[in-house]
């Protein structure tokens, strides 16, 4: 029997279909060498998290003040789109872990403002590995395949959207179940999501922190050599961070902002429409330009957008940070992280996104 795992959330928020486990710490520089040499896939290793430094945490609160209304509007737009596209039932499936806080918000917003009580699961999807098929099978025991809505925070290059499509095609072949390969995000930079509230690169405040804004759960991990045939993908639960956990605070703050937006006398949701083909062309053009300028051997080393750039500076060996505007309030935390780790910053006013980070190639 599988026991529901909620991290530091509650059962009313989410069920993580992840297996809590203990994993050895792999320092960033060792992890990078193992990934780039091909000795190990990134999903087999984890660099243990530490609490954010004293001077970094205020940047999260500033980002929340700066962006909570905008994010609240986008959550409402996304909830409305979900109601329109899933008229016969909704099952939220957020992609751990950036999608988890978004899924929690959507669950409450759908209940409060759209009179729709939905289940919310958070499951693993990993580049090159795919989606956790055991987690999908667990969900499908109780929910119709056409009700599933896959949720993430944003798109960067569209890798996860493509991985989702590939994984679900494979699942249809192995299990005979067709699930819509549609990704729903707040911000679709690359034009690869099925539905999004905006295509702009803006600071989603939850991207600034790691586990302490995501239910104290690590990013997902999977090692085929140790995983059981019926296991979910794994994760670590950082119980030692419970006194500093901001996961519930973040949700409560955003739900208050949603209520304020909803109460506006002239409240009306924007359309959320944008030109996906144009965004795809911008994304491909940027990747080509950066690869030529910086001599990048593969696009995996280019991480476009504030969210992806933040992940690089928190979890990988960064080569350089590209910014559109050195004084932009939305990238203050990136400038802090770059300075703290002595990462050079290049400024390009015509950059299509506010930030892009490049991973350092080790040439092993």
110-158 pLDDT tens trace: 999 999 999 999 999 999 999 999 999 999 999 999 999 999 999 999 9
The confidence score (pLDDT) of residue 228 equals 86
Nearest to 149 by CA among 124, 188, 119: 119
Q: What is the pTM of this model?
A: 0.95
The confidence score (pLDDT) of residue 151 equals 98
The confidence score (pLDDT) of residue 116 equals 97
239-254 pLDDT tens trace: 999 999 999 999 999 9
Average of per-residue pLDDT across 268-284:
83
The confidence score (pLDDT) of residue 194 equals 95
The confidence score (pLDDT) of residue 4 equals 77
Nearest to 22 by CA among 221, 213, 230: 221
Q: 101: buried, middle or exposed (CB in 10 Å: 19+, 13-18, 0-12)?
A: buried
For the CA atoms of 191, 197, 198, 201, what is the dihedral angle to 10 degrees?
A: -90
**Domains (range + CATH), the chain:** 15-262 (3.40.50), 276-359 (3.30.1330.30)
Average of per-residue pLDDT across 57-79:
95
Nearest to 316 by CA among 95, 23, 39, 33: 33
CA distance 62 to 139: 37
- In the predicted structure, residue 335 carries a pLDDT above the cut 90: yes
CA distance 255 to 118: 17
- In the predicted structure, residue 82 carries a pLDDT above the cut 70: yes
- In the predicted structure, residue 47 carries a pLDDT above the cut 60: yes
- Average confidence score pLDDT of the chain: 94
Average of per-residue pLDDT across 156-167:
96
CA distance 206 to 99: 10
Percent of the chain with pLDDT over 70: 97
Q: Number of C-alpha atoms within 13 angstroms, CB side, residue 237?
A: 14
Higher pLDDT, 30 or 267: 30
């Amino acid at each position: 029997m599988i026991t529901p795992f909620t991290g530091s959330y509650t059962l009313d928020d989410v069920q993580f279909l992840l297996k809590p486990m203990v994993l050895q710490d792999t320092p960033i520089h060792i992890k990078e060498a193992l990934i780039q040499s091909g000795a190990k896939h990134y999903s087999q290793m984890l660099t243990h998290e530490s609490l954010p430094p004293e001077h970094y945490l205020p940047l999260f609160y500033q980002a929340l003040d700066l962006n909570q209304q905008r994010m609240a509007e986008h959550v409402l737009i996304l909830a409305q789109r979900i109601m329109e596209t899933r008229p016969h039932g909704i099952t939220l499936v957020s992609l751990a872990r950036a999608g988890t806080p978004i899924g929690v918000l959507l669950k409450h917003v759908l209940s409060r403002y759209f009179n729709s009580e939905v289940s919310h699961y958070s499951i693993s999807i990993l580049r090159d590995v795919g989606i956790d098929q055991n987690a999908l099978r667990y969900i499908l025991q109780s929910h119709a395949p056409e009700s599933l809505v896959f949720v993430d925070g944003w798109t960067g290059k569209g890798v996860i959207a493509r991985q989702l499509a590939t994984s679900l095609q494979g699942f249809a072949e192995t299990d005979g179940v067709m699930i819509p390969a549609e990704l729903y995000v707040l911000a679709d930079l690359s034009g690869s999501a099925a539905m999004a509230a905006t295509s702009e690169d803006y600071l989603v405040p939850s991207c600034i922190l790691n586990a302490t804004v995501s239910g104290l759960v690590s990013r997902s991990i999977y090692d085929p050599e140790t995983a059981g045939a019926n296991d979910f993908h794994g994760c670590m639960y950082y119980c030692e961070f419970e006194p500093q956990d901001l996961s519930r605070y973040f949700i409560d703050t955003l739900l208050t902002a949603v209520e304020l937006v909803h109460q506006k006398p002239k409240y009306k949701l924007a359309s959320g429409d944008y030109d996906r083909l144009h965004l795809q062309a911008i994304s491909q053009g940027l990747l080509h330009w950066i690869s030529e300028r910086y001599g990048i051997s593969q696009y995996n080393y280019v991480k476009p957008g504030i969210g992806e750039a933040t992940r690089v500076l928190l979890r990988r060996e960064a080569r350089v940070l590209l910014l559109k505007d050195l004084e932009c309030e939305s990238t203050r935390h990136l400038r802090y992280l770059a300075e703290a780790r002595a990462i050079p910053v290049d400024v390009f006013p015509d950059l299509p996104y506010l930030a892009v980070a490049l991973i350092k190639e080790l040439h092993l």
